[in-house]
Structure 1
Amino acid sequence: MTYPDTYYRRTMTDGTVRAPLVRSVECDVAVVGGGLAGLTTALELARAGRSVTVLEAESVGFGASGRNGGFVSPGYATGGEEIARVAGAETARRLHMLSVEGMDFVRETIRALGIEEADPKAGLMSVLRYDDGASLRAYAEETRRLYGYALEYMDRDAVRAVLKSERYFQALRNPAAFHMHPLNYLRGLAREIERLGGRICEGSAATGADLSGPEKRVTTAGGQVRARDVVFTTGGYTGGLNARLKRAFLPIATYVMVSEEAPELIASAIATADAIGDNRRAGDYYRVVDGGRRLLWGGRITTRAASTGALVRELRAEMVGTYPQLAGLKTELAWSGLMSYARHLMPQIGRMSPGVWYCTAFGGHGLNTTAIGGRVIAEGILGTSDRYRLYAPFGLVWAGGLAGLAVAQLTYWKLQAQDWWRERAA
């Protein structure tokens, strides 16, 4: 599989190529998947003195972890009310606080490891495409009361002062949230894992696994890893190695494009360095990059193979519909990637059987949740906490296979229609 030509790949500062596994090795923990969940798990275990081997089918950050929007902010793809309905109010509160901790973990890791090339920028605006400031004020107050952090309310004039669009009304700004270069962050994690003695094997797809005994065995085309614990963190690119895991989520494609260099034109529409996301179910998300010289714009999801070119035309239509002044802004680069979504729209984090762990289904949750998933799995392996059990109400339920994909696509279209009508009624 060829790595897509993404903006992150072009601006990656560490091009280290790691050798594949070519022999039999022993370690404490084998991690299958070299994305953010897998690398965070491996980092936390290596920091605790455990020997770790990471098996990555392609290269570090190949999947969604290395080609997403780069947003790091609290919360989940599903709302707090639904989480509380399933898991109870107190568990919902603790889960949200874990997502806040994940955000803080990523920020502190960048600082502690000196990953300057991750280029973190503070601030994220969540904007409404219809007029309902009262609901945002109420949400901000609830967030302050339940979780102890402040969101800044922006009225329509304040929003349109920095986002020159008639599509937007009110917004909440989270000054503690941030956005970054995710692939450079992952490469920094990989360096630290190796400095601590961990092993990362690229080009090493797991082709077989014997998970039945106290010693687990994971095989690749070139070798074998024997370990007491195995962690599966493969996301949207999971193959058939672990059938129970594969059937528990849907691979969903999302799309991103990056503009040509046009700082003055971009500034005529977007006068903020904050990351932006709108309130639709699968809405637009975007941010200026390269010091304001380019615009990164993402959105749209599909449950089946789709032409990137056709989807980019739809993304451009969204961009120009929001900012007519950007009609002349050319797209220089576009790519897609597979995320994993569970039917319940929560991450899947837990223990499948003694010594067999999973940490996946992070589509729509952001880098903070992916990171905290890796941390709590590491804690579970180390025996320092059982916080991973907070995710137990959202386990490996069957996602529905082909029928599930069809339902997901129909649901997306239904939500798009609801968004359209709500905005027209505003």
Structure 2
Amino acid sequence: MNALGTRENPGHIASWYAATANDKTVRPSLEGAIEADVCIIGAGFTGISAALELAEKGLSVVVLESERIGFGASGRNGGQIVNGYSRDFNTLERRFGPGIARKLALMSREGGEIIRSRVARHRIECDLRDGGFFAAFTEKQLREFETIKKSCEHYGIDGMEMVGKADVFRYVSSQRYVGGMIDTRGGHIHPLNLVLGEALAAEGFGGRIFENSRAVSVDLSGGQPVVTTAAGRVESRYLLVCGNAYLGNLLPKITERMMPVSSQVMATEVLAPELLDRMLPADYCVEDANYVLDYYRRTSDNRLLYGGGIGYGGQDPENLTAFIRPNMIKTFPELANARIDYAWSGNFALTLTRIPHVGKLSDRVYFSHGDSGHGVTTTHLLGKILGEAVAGHADRFDIWASLPSLPFPGGRAFRVPLTALGAWWYGLRDRLGV
């Protein structure tokens, strides 16, 4: 693993994203007591999305980040714009009824639209590219994609196209797949540069962001919430809790409903452009259909960024490269001798329902977490919805807050082994093709 990211961008892990960040400015830590209309805990996609939404409306906003902007999953993920949620619309309809499913479906593309709108409006340089390919290993997985496509069309969502075996090579030059589905409204980005660009935009509207300012306590006993850090405090009219997998034990009522899960990513050395042109002819991002899936894409400087694997409880394999590399070589044997320049991991927040957990701790304290692996788009949507709720338009917030949230079976002591057992079962089904 190359440690360049740590040296060039202190406070971030040694990732390709940190090494190639456009803005490496370290914001000051909070010192002393300040006031704001809204205090936000967490400077990832959810928190920064809400901060930008509120700052644009003229509210005074303070964001407290324990490390650096985009330090967690928002600055470490695969960089794929995957529309929808971690469960398909048929599942949502069975769980919540057709009325709620339709309302959620109407919002399912908005996260990607928010990203594109902000990139254009604020001129954010984050290597935005259009198009995503979902790859099927088996005919069963291909049929599941057909069902998803029909479900999307039932709810008025277009842009999905089925891909047969003969056309796979238009999107990825690999013998592993029997077909797949493209989403023309998917895409990929440099996620750290996206969240940094959104943070700069929020600051342009008067938002204040403090890094290295971990929230150590939250006092809800008075009329207004008070958040205390090591060297300061923020009193605000409203508090938004957006820490996701990196919230820690600050507010157990939130964290008991989620589990941190790690995903591993690596980036190769710079490859010949003509090689990448052959491997990924359309420059779409790719993810496969397995329960424990692989995902990959081309970077702006001609590397292959390849991710996969999960670690329940946030646990990582001892050697990230050795863990991910074999699948990369199965997909692209021509990369057998390619050097790996960067390897890193990041935690996302998983809920038992695999649906984001959104709600209130009080009339003045809102939260959103648990995007369950679909965070690039849903965090942007839900950050905006948090901002709407604070501004007095809570209709969409109330839809999300009405969805049931369940604790993990066995509590914190057994949530990891029980979830890992379930993942092992589904992984076995993937390997057997059943």
TM-score, scaled relative to structure 1: 0.94
| Alignment of 1:290 onto 2:290 | no
1:159 corresponds to which letter in structure 2?
V
Match of 2:381? 372
Helix, strand or coil for the counterpart of 2:292? coil
| Alignment of 1:419 onto 2:430 | yes
Q: Distance in 2 between matches of 1:114 and 1:305?
A: 34
Match of 1:126? 134
Q: Distance in 1 between matches of 2:417 and 2:396?
A: 34
Q: CA RMSD in A?
A: 1.8
Q: Distance in 2 between matches of 1:359 and 1:141?
A: 30
Q: How far did residue 40 of structure 1 move?
A: 0.7
User: 1:8-19 to 2 correspondence within 5 Å?
Assistant: 8-19=17-28
Q: Distance in 2 between matches of 1:171 and 1:354?
A: 46
1:339-378: CA deviations, max 9, x gaps? 1101111111222221011111123113110111111111
Match of 2:229? 220
Match of 1:303? 312
| Uncovered stretches (5+) of structure 1, i.e. residues with no partner | none
2:369 corresponds to which letter in structure 1?
T
| Uncovered stretches (5+) of structure 2, i.e. residues with no partner | 1-9
Deviation larger for 65-74 or 297-306: 297-306
1:254-273: CA deviations, max 9, x gaps? 10000011124444433230
Match of 2:188? 179
Q: Distance in 2 between matches of 1:161 and 1:216?
A: 54
1:310-357: CA deviations, max 9, x gaps? 342121111112222221222111001111101111111222221011
Q: How far did residue 161 of structure 1 move?
A: 4.1
1:55-86: CA deviations, max 9, x gaps? 00001100000110111131111222222222
Of the three residues 262, 281, 285, the one matched with 1:275 is: 285
Helix, strand or coil for the counterpart of 2:424? helix
Q: How far did residue 2 of structure 1 move?
A: 4.4
Assess if the C-alpha contact under 8 Å between 1:244 and 1:396 holds in 2.
no
Of the three residues 405, 413, 416, the one matched with 1:402 is: 413
Q: Distance in 2 between matches of 1:298 and 1:226?
A: 41
Evaluate the alpha carbon distance shift between residue 23 and residue 331 of structure 1 in structure 2; reply closer, same or farther with a 3 A threshold: same
Helix, strand or coil for the counterpart of 2:108? helix
Deviation larger for 61-70 or 74-83: 74-83
Q: Distance in 2 between matches of 1:148 and 1:5?
A: 39
Deviation larger for 350-359 or 131-140: 131-140
| Alignment of 1:147 onto 2:156 | yes
Q: Distance in 2 between matches of 1:248 and 1:138?
A: 30
Assess if the C-alpha contact under 8 Å between 2:297 and 2:305 holds in 1.
yes
1:275-334: CA deviations, max 9, x gaps? 00111112001001125x210001100125655553421211111122222212221110
Q: Percent identity of the aligned residues? A: 31
Of the three residues 48, 52, 59, the one matched with 1:39 is: 48
Match of 1:262? 271
Aligned length, in residue pairs: 421
| Alignment of 1:69 onto 2:78 | yes
Helix, strand or coil for the counterpart of 2:230? coil
| Alignment of 1:321 onto 2:316 | no
Assess if the C-alpha contact under 8 Å between 2:242 and 2:369 holds in 1.
yes
The runs of 4+ residues in structure 1 deviating greater than 6 Å are: none
TM-score, scaled relative to structure 2: 0.93
Of the three residues 353, 360, 363, the one matched with 2:362 is: 353
